[in-house]
Chain A
Amino acid sequence: MLNYSLKRLASAVPTLLILITVAFFLIRIAPGGPFDSEKALPPEIEANLEAKYQLDDPLVVQYVRYLGDILMFDFGPSFHYRDWTVNELIAQGAPVSFTLGAIALVLAMLFGTTIGVWAALKQNTVADYATMSIAMIGISVPNFVMAPLLVLAFAIGLGWLPAGGWDGSVSRMVLPSIALALPMIAYIARITRGSMIEVLHSDFIRTARAKGLPEREVLVRHALKPALLPVISYLGPAAAAILTGSVVIERIFTIPGIGSHFVQGALNRDYTLVMGVVIFYGVLIIVLNYLVDLVYAWLDPRIRYDN
């Protein structure tokens, strides 16, 4: 197990390095710079600004220096929000994005698995078909379409919930987290149903039934754990989907998280902010994938002995 976890950890390092390198050079070769404005700056001032932010060195030198800074967890100053460092901006937005993402993930797991197991138990009945058709609709309606529809129905139409903003109150969390969670609920429900059906047809379940266990025991003690394995492995992509979704959801609901910084930062050529968000999200996804793999290997011994 230790061997396996070290092996997986070693493969995470090159991934992170690729991420940082590609993002760094991509944003740098973009035309335009962080100090562009309507009025062209006098060349002396521009040279001074570039010298101040050390943008006048060759790109490779900047790249190496940046790698050094990251190792010290220093993402540098933001070019657009002049008095802020990227660390401060991320520290300010991260708790908000985390709260939203965590709620969405919990909702998705809870409802997704429950619905999936239920549909599997009713396999090939009207209830099963109806649930799975609704799940397909859930997958087919992207969250940036779902979000304004929810606002239209529950904020503008019924007036039950606020349409946007963020102040830490539950009422403002409801719509964004549901919008973020709905496609995932549908997805997890489909995965769970599929694997549950497969498990229910396997030999060890037949054995459990044959030895006279009540159906409830069979489900809880024997079927549930193997059936949830595919859901565990979906958690990595799910985390990535939540982070990507947060970019649009935070924009629709005017939530001050880090997702909203990304697109705006890229458009402003705020090099350091974009890099900060990419690295932060990248590390998060890589770490989550790593944890998911570990949990998976721990639950399913076939994996760790295979490698």
Chain B
Amino acid sequence: MTAESTTPPREPDAFEQAMDRRPVKGRSLWVDAWHRLKRNKAALAGAGLLVVIVVMVTIGPMLNPWDHEIPDWDHYSTPPSLETGHLMGTDALGRDLFERVMVGGRISLLVGLVATLVSLFIGVLYGATAGYLGGRVDNWMMRAVDAIYALPFMFFVILLMVVFGRNIFLIFVAIGAVNWLDMARIVRGQTLSLKNKAFIEAARASGATERQVIVRHIIPNLLGVVAVYVSLTIPQVILVESFLSFLGLGVQEPLTSWGALVNEGAQELETAPWSLLFPAAFLAATLFAFNFLGDGLRDALDPRDR
């Protein structure tokens, strides 16, 4: 019951050579996965929703006449209305909420992406090293991961933010640096099991160099798991960033993020509920879409549960 057992059989290089390198028309892992993903309506809906959100966040501020910092002196805490031109209303300081939600969305998505890449980099490097080296080194490396794993992470991130000031680049690094453990475990397990697979041995036996083995056989087989994991990590990271910003430790003025906006909205709950509802809806919709897409990708690329 491992992921490899379900990947479509690959023609070994030796066979290709013997068959005069006649191209073998097989369905690759990715084509296969794409077919499965296309049938999953929830995942497609999630992907669609994400595209809509990304497009809105990217071009929204360009079409909107208001600035996210400069207040509209005539409209404080006004509800959404077409007449005033504030599509989502204004906050207590008279700033256009639509503009703020869009600008905040850029930051939230950016943090999600960059911090995930950081954790991806650390996790893959650590996990692949441990898995490839194996033996005692692997044992100790993974023991360290287990020890760190049992720690309450959020507390460390909060401490890191307090210690190093509330810098946006630090948010990337801090979140990424504590989020790499899962990635390291997954990549290590995958590398370890791949290393001893028959098709790797076959490739070696047919004279493939170490480099070819890694590039043609190990990396493509890691990619699926990594892709699934990335799509599930991004929403987690966005969540952590909003959590920090909600506490006032994350993104600072004049920049904003969905978490910071939810915090502001929660304080104006009674007088201006829209200033909570819009950022909350965007945050939830984004997480929702990522989670559905990630689930769909997992079913498509790693279909052992179905």
Please list the residues of chain A having a beta carbon within 8 angstroms of any beta carbon in chain B. Answer: 11-12, 14-15, 18-19, 22-23, 26-27, 29-31, 133, 136-137, 139-142, 144-145, 147-149, 151-152, 156, 194, 198, 240, 243-244, 247-248, 251-252, 262-263, 266-267, 274, 277-278, 281-282, 285-286, 289
Contacts and interface: CB of A to CB of B under 8 A. Distances in A.
Interface string B265-277: 1100110010011
20 contacts: A23-B155, A26-B163, A136-B288, A139-B287, A140-B235, A142-B283, A145-B242, A145-B262, A148-B280, A149-B280, A244-B152, A244-B243, A247-B247, A251-B247, A252-B266, A263-B158, A263-B249, A266-B159, A277-B155, A285-B152
Contact of A26 (B160, B273, B287, B305): B160
A144 B159 CA distance: 19
Interface in B142-195: 143, 146-148, 150-156, 158-160, 162-163, 165
B42 A15 contact: no
B273 A144 contact: no
Contacts of B243: 142, 144, 244, 248
B98 interface: no
A-B pairs, 5 with minimum CB distance: A148-B266, A140-B288, A140-B287, A30-B163, A244-B154
B185 to A, nearest CB: 14
B154 A151 contact: no
Given A244-B154, A278-B155, A282-B152, A144 B269 contact: no
A281 B303 CA distance: 38
A288 to B, nearest CB: 10
Contacts of B225: none
Interface residues of B, number: 44
A140 B291 contact: yes
Contacts of A267: 162
B235 A266 contact: no
A58 to B, nearest CB: 20
Chain B interface main SS type:
helix
Contact of A262 (B150, B158, B283): B158
Contacts of B29: none
Nearest to A147: B266
A26 B42 CA distance: 43
B239 interface: yes
Interface in B97-130: none
B155 A148 contact: no
A204 to B, nearest CB: 17
A263 B246 CA distance: 12
B292 interface: yes
Contacts of A26: 156, 159-160, 163
B223 interface: no
A262 B246 contact: no
Contacts of A252: 266
